[in-house]
Structure 1
Amino acid sequence: MTSADTNDIEFRSVTKRYGAVTAVSDINLSVPKGAFVALLGPSGCGKTTCLRMIGGFEQPTEGSVLIGGASMNGVPAYRRPVNMVFQQYALFPHFDVEANVAYGLKQLRPRLAASEISRRVGEALEMVRLGGFAKRRIHEMSGGQQQRVALARALVNKPSVLLLDEPLAALDKKLRTAMQIELQTLQRDLGITFVLVTHDQEEALSMSDVVCVMNAGRIRQLASPKEIYDNPTDLFVADFVGKTNRLSATVDPADGSVTLANGKRLETAKARTLKAGEATVALRPEAIRLTRPSDKNGAQLEGTVTHRIFLGSAAEYSISVPGLGDLLVTAERRGTSDSDLVEPGETVAMNFNPGEAHIFPA
Structure 2
Amino acid sequence: MTAAAVNDIEFRSVSKRYGEVLAVSGIDVAVPKGAFVALLGPSGCGKTTCLRMIGGFEQPSEGTVLIDGQPMNGVPPYRRPVNMVFQHYALFPHLDVEANVSYGLRQRRPRIERREVAKRTAQALELVRLGGFAKRRVHEMSGGQQQRVALARAIVNRPAVLLLDEPLAALDRKLRTAMQIELQSLQRELGITFLLVTHDQEEALSMSDYVCVMNAGQIVQMAPPQEVYDRPRTLFVADFVGKTNRLSGTVEAGGTTLRLGDGRALPVVAQTPGAVTAVLRPEAIRLDRGECSERMDALGGTVTHRIFLGNAVEYAVAIDGLGEMLVTADRSAARDPAEPGERVNLSFKPESLLVFPA
* TM over 0.5, shorter chain: yes
Structure 1 residues 1-362: aligned runs within 5 Å:
3-271=3-271, 274=272, 276-293=273-290, 296=293, 298=295, 300-334=298-332, 337=335, 339=336, 341-362=337-358
Secondary structure of the 1:334 match is: helix
Please report the RMSD computed on the Cα atoms of aligned residues, expressed in angstroms. Answer: 1.5
Q: 1:269 to 1:74 in 2, by over 3 A?
A: same
Shift of 1:18: 0.5
Kept after mapping to 1: 8 A contact 2:292/2:300: no
Output one character per residue of 1:71-100: Cα deviation in whole Å (capped at 9) or x when no partner.
000000000000000000000111110010
Q: 1:329 to 1:257 in 2, by over 3 A?
A: same
- Distance in 2 (alpha carbons) for counterparts of 1:336 and 1:268: 27
Kept after mapping to 1: 8 A contact 2:104/2:153: yes
- Distance in 2 (alpha carbons) for counterparts of 1:355 and 1:336: 23
- Distance in 2 (alpha carbons) for counterparts of 1:170 and 1:115: 35
- Distance in 2 (alpha carbons) for counterparts of 1:270 and 1:69: 43
Output one character per residue of 1:168-191: Cα deviation in whole Å (capped at 9) or x when no partner.
000000000000000000001110
Kept after mapping to 1: 8 A contact 2:161/2:192: yes
Structure 1, gaps ≥5 residues long: none
Shift of 1:253: 3.9
Question: Moved runs in structure 1, 4+ residues, more than 4 A?
Answer: 294-297
Structure 2, gaps ≥5 residues long: none
- Distance in 2 (alpha carbons) for counterparts of 1:189 and 1:200: 24
Secondary structure of the 1:269 match is: coil
TM-score w.r.t. the length of structure 1 is 0.96
- Distance in 1 (alpha carbons) for counterparts of 2:334 and 2:247: 33
Output one character per residue of 1:261-292: Cα deviation in whole Å (capped at 9) or x when no partner.
23221232332xx2x33211100000000000
TM-score w.r.t. the length of structure 2 is 0.97
Kept after mapping to 2: 8 A contact 1:270/1:359: no
Identity of aligned residues (%): 69
Secondary structure of the 1:308 match is: strand
Shift of 1:335: 6.9
Kept after mapping to 1: 8 A contact 2:269/2:350: no
Secondary structure of the 2:88 match is: coil
Q: 1:255 to 1:237 in 2, by over 3 A?
A: closer
Secondary structure of the 1:222 match is: strand
Return the letter of the residue paired with 1:35. Answer: A
- Distance in 1 (alpha carbons) for counterparts of 2:255 and 2:93: 68
Return the letter of the residue paired with 1:351. Answer: S
- Distance in 2 (alpha carbons) for counterparts of 1:9 and 1:350: 46
- Distance in 2 (alpha carbons) for counterparts of 1:350 and 1:312: 22
Q: 1:242 to 1:335 in 2, by over 3 A?
A: closer
* Count of residues in Structure 1 that have an aligned counterpart in Structure 2: 357
- Distance in 2 (alpha carbons) for counterparts of 1:280 and 1:2: 42
